[in-house]
Amino acid sequence: MTQETFKNTVFILKDEMYRFAKRFVMSSDEAEDVVQDLMMKFWQKKEELEKFGNLKSYALKAVRNECLNRLKHHDVKLGFADFQLHRSELYSMEVNNLKEQIIGFINQLPEKQKMVIHLKDVEEYDVSEIAEMLEMEDNAVRVNLMRARQKVKEQISQLMDYEQRQISR
C-alpha cells in the first residue's frame, strides 16, 4: 500500500475514529491519542490492511478495543471516564441549546445504546455494519437503538414539559 493509498483509504477515517473514541474516553486529548496510536499501528501494518474488506468497520472496532483497553488500565469502570462528574454538572447547568441537551441525554444512556445511537444517527451506518463493528446480532442493534431513541425522546418530552411550566409561571 502506498502512502497515497493509505491517505485515501485509512487516513480519511480519522475524524470518524476521533468522534467514536471521544464517546468512550470523554477527553479530546485522550481521543486524539487513541486515533494517533491506531494510525501509527495501521501504517506499520499497511500491507495487512488490504486483506480487510471493510476498513471503516475494522478501524472503528479497533477504536472501541483501544478505548476499552485504556479504560481498563486507568482503573475506570466500563463506561465513560468522567460520567458521574459530567452527569451532575449537566443537571446543575442551565443549557439553552437543545442539541447540547440531546448530547447530554445520549451520554447518560447505557454503553451499548450510546455506541449504537452514535453509529446509526451520527455516523449513519447501516444496522448490519454496526452489528459487525460491535460484534452484536442485527436484532440486538435494533433493540438497543429503539431503547436509546425512546429514552432520549422521553427526556426531551420531560424537558419540554418543564420548560412549558416555567414559561406559564
Rounded to whole angstroms, what are the CA distances from 86 to 26, 103, 105?
9, 12, 11
Cβ partners under 8 Å of residue 162, min gap 6: none
How confident is the model over 76-91, as pLDDT tens digits?
443 444 554 444 444 4
Q: Can you tell me which residue has the cell 494517533?
A: 36
CA dihedral over 125, 116, 49, 27, signed as positive or negative: positive
How confident is the model over 42-72, as pLDDT tens digits?
888 888 877 777 788 888 888 888 888 887 7
State the pLDDT confidence band at 164, using cuts at 50, 70 and 90.
low
Q: How far apart are CA 22 and CA 16, in angstroms?
A: 10
CATH number of 82-169: 1.10.10.10
What pLDDT does 31 receive?
87
Burial of residue 142, with CB atoms counted within 10 A of its CB: 0-12 exposed, 13-18 middle, 19 or more buried: middle
Spelled out in words, what is the top-level CATH class assigned to the domain 1-81? mainly alpha
The three cell numbers of residue 18 are: 476521533
Phi, psi of 120 (to 5 degrees): -80, -50
Q: Where are the domains of the chain?
A: 1-81, 82-169
Average pLDDT over residues 139-143: 95
E strand or H helix at 116: helix 111-117
pTM, entire model: 0.53
